[in-house]
């Protein structure tokens, strides 16, 4: 039994390490998730909270793998997972079916799925608490390791400055859900639903996407001036991209002399802006063949 307990103890620790890793490779998504779930009010606070939890999970996972203070660590695990589970139950109760962010963007889980995952982890933690062999070392070593791990996240994952990023407020695109436009290479198209030039561009881009498996992520910000709806636009252009809506002020701030316009974002930096020749620009930039 002791050997089996040791194995599941290590697996529990690895689960926390993996959870921290999936958030660390794309902290912006975790920040957006914290904001969307109402845990923080702005991106700056979300950045601090995200780094704290990532460091906490890294530190806890590493300590659980070791044989020291196992019962104390399991008590802390009960409190941590219990708190997360209560929050997830709330999200589930209000009908939130989006990715809860437990494993970042790497593994999408609904609140309901994550509740089940947490219950299984709590069961494992209870078994470890009851049967694991306990060893002790200086508490200052354990506390120091945890503190250093948490604080190191601000050096490993420095806080970005999004003040001049024109798309900071756009974090949800239907039907994809939560999106972090500050991570990776993305395209953002500005379309007027009633604009014939926008419709023509969507037809061409849709064909390009269908012909290339390595087509980049493209998100559309729609301005609805007339009566055309998104389903009608998609049916007319035979295209479908994750989308959100903008008002008139945002629309005219984001276009040039006339729509459409496409922004090429490289890790949150506006690398290029295209007002024409979209197919050639996309094909060249992303080496589509």
Between 111-131 and 70-93, two packed helices, what is the crossing angle to 10 degrees? 160
pLDDT of residue 105: 84
Give the count of beta carbons closer than 10 Å to the beta carbon of residue 237. Answer: 20
The mean-pLDDT minimum among 11-15, 82-86, 161-165, 200-204 falls in 161-165
**Reported confidence tier of residue 163, pLDDT bands at 50, 70, 90:** low
Which CATH number is 172-285 given?
Answer: 3.40.30.10
Where are the domains positioned within the chain? 2-156, 172-285
pLDDT, position 128: 93
pLDDT digits (tens, 9 = 90+) for 59-99: 999 999 998 999 999 999 999 999 999 999 999 999 888 88
Confidence class for position 189, pLDDT limits 50, 70, 90: very high
Summarised one tens digit per residue, pLDDT across range 88-112 is 999 999 988 888 989 988 898 999 9
Q: Is the pLDDT of residue 205 over 80?
A: yes
User: pTM for this one?
Assistant: 0.78
Q: What is the largest CA-CA distance in the chain?
A: 72
Is the predicted pLDDT of residue 38 greater than 90, yes or no? Answer: no
Q: What is the pLDDT of residues 221-264, one digit of tens each?
A: 999 988 899 999 999 999 999 999 999 889 988 988 889 999 99
């Amino acid at each position: 039994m002791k050997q089996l307990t040791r194995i599941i103890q290590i697996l529990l620790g690895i689960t926390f390490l993996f959870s921290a890793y999936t958030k660390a490779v794309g902290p912006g998504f975790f920040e957006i998730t914290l904001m969307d779930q109402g845990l923080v009010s702005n991106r700056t606070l979300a950045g601090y909270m995200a780094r704290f939890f990532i460091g906490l999970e890294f530190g806890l996972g590493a300590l659980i793998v070791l044989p020291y203070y196992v019962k104390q660590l399991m008590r802390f695990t009960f409190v941590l997972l219990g708190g997360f589970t209560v929050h997830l139950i709330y999200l589930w109760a209000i009908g939130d079916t989006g990715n809860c962010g437990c494993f970042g963007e790497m593994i999408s889980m609904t609140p309901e799925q994550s509740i089940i995952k947490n219950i299984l982890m709590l069961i494992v933690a209870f078994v470890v608490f009851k049967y694991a062999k306990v060893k002790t070392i200086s508490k200052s070593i354990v506390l120091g390791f945890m503190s250093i791990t948490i604080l190191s996240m601000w050096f490993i994952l420095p806080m970005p400055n999004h003040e001049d990023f024109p798309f900071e407020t756009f974090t949800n695109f239907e039907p994809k859900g939560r999106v972090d436009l500050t991570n990776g290479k993305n395209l953002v198209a500005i379309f007027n639903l009633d604009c014939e030039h926008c419709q023509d561009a969507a037809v061409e881009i849709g064909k390009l996407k269908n012909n290339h498996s390595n087509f980049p992520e493209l998100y559309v910000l729609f301005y609805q001036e007339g009566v055309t709806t998104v389903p009608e636009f998609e049916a007319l252009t035979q295209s479908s991209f994750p989308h959100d809506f903008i008002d008139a002020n945002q629309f005219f701030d984001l276009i040039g002399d006339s729509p459409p316009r496409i922004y090429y974002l490289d890790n949150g930096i506006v690398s290029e802006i295209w007002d024409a020749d979209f197919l050639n620009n996309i094909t060249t930039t992303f080496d589509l063949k």
